[in-house]
Amino acid sequence: MEGSASVHLEELVKLDKIKIKAVVLNRGEVNNPQSQKKRIFKKIMKIGLFGAINGVRIRKYFTTGLNKYLKIESIEKICSENTIPFKTTPTINCAETITIFEEANAEVGLSLGNGYIGSKVFCLPKFGMINIHHEELPAYQNAQSIIWQIYNGSRNTGYTIHKIDKEIDQGEILFQESIPIDFRETLGETISFNYAKLWGKSAVGLVKVLEDFHNSFDNSKPQGKGTSYTTPSLWSYMKMEREFKRLKSE
């Protein structure tokens, strides 16, 4: 139960202007195993078997690799210490989630680290829900952070705070920040270090948005045409390694 939500929650509890009605943890249970298997098979067909295996291998760069750079507390512990109601639900879009949202009667909902959220959930808060995508939008929709920027030969990464709508990572932009990539000894270390940095930066950006909430919403900007990414194939990852070495050496 540790992740970017913990990092962001630790910043939000410091704010006198913000009242957190509840924190909801989605346990990620699978309602339809057959449908999930079909999605996995379709993805493997797209990126190849070696790409899928490599995707599992690089996952640690975005998870346990962060422990070197961040001290991440349990989100349940943070809630307990700050007297915030902590709830768990089996899935994002289930009836239990809807009930919790209805009872919370919040002005705005915040999503961190979730999959697709349906309109029956994101429309419940008065002003809808917002998401933090740890990459620049619309150029890197649905993209893992940092790796695709490096693939494209860029020295920058970033994060985007945007409204949630029916399309993944395509809602109106509330706030965005571009951040230079710090190149470390290896690609894995570079990903973990900069991903940790993005979490910290986006927590500060989220505070800015919420403290000036109505102005942020009134001045939100629609996204233009974007590019969507997925887990890299083996060949794509090999190019990432080559681009990383080139960018690091220059």
Give the tens place of pLDDT for each residue, 78-89. Answer: 999 999 999 999
DSSP secondary structure code for residue 65 in this structure: G
The pLDDT of residue 45: 83
The pLDDT of residue 176: 96
Percent pLDDT > 70 in the chain is 99
The pLDDT of residue 2: 67
CA 166 to CA 152: how far, in whole Å? 28
Question: Taking the C-alpha atoms of 96, 99, 105 and 106 in order, what is their torsion angle to the nearest 10 degrees?
Answer: 20
Burial class (CB in 10 A: 0-12, 13-18, 19+), 147: buried
Q: 43 falls in which pLDDT band (50, 70, 90)?
A: confident
Average pLDDT, stretch 223-242? 93
Cis bond leading into 85, ω under 30°? no
From residue 83, alpha-carbon distances to 2, 54, 78, 97 in Å are 18, 41, 9, 20
Q: 183 falls in which pLDDT band (50, 70, 90)?
A: very high
Average pLDDT over the chain, rounded to an integer:
92
CA 62 to CA 148: how far, in whole Å? 14
SS3 161: strand
SS3 215: helix
From residue 54, alpha-carbon distances to 102, 143, 231 in Å are 41, 16, 9
Domain ranges for the chain: 4-249
Domain covering 4-249: architecture? 3-Layer(aba) Sandwich (3.40)
